[in-house]
Amino acid sequence: MKQGEARIGAVIAPAIEALGLELWGIEQSRQGRRVTLRVFIDCMSGVTIDDCERASRQISAILDVEDPIQGEYMLEVSSPGVERPLFALPQFERYLGAEANVRLRVPLDGRRRFSGTIEKVMADKVALLVEGETFEFAHADIERAGLAPPAAPAPRKR
What are 27-82's pLDDT values in tens digits?
Answer: 998 888 888 999 999 999 999 999 999 999 999 999 989 878 877 889 999 999 98
Contact 114, 102 (CB under 8 A): yes
Q: Give the integer Cα–Cα distance in Å for 22 and 94.
A: 14
- Going by pLDDT thresholds of 50, 70 and 90, the confidence category of residue 158 is low
| Cα angle: 33, vertex 8, 88; to 5 degrees | 110
pLDDT for 1 equals 56
pLDDT for 69 equals 80
CATH number of 89-147: 2.30.30.180
Domain residue limits, the chain:
3-78, 89-147
Q: How far is CA 113 from CA 78, 93, 106, 128, in A?
A: 25, 20, 10, 12
pLDDT for 75 equals 94
Give the pLDDT confidence of 90-99 residue by residue, as tens digits: 999 999 999 9
Q: Give the integer Cα–Cα distance in Å for 131 and 115.
A: 9
- The model carries a pTM of 0.86
| Second CATH level (architecture) for the domain 3-78 | 2-Layer Sandwich (3.30)
Contact 35, 21 (CB under 8 A): no
Q: How far is CA 56 from the centre of its chain?
A: 17
Q: Mean pLDDT for the chain?
A: 91
Gyration radius of the chain's alpha carbons: 17
According to the 3-state scheme, what is the secondary structure of 48-66? CHHHHHHHHHHHHHHHHHH
The DSSP call for residue 141 is: G
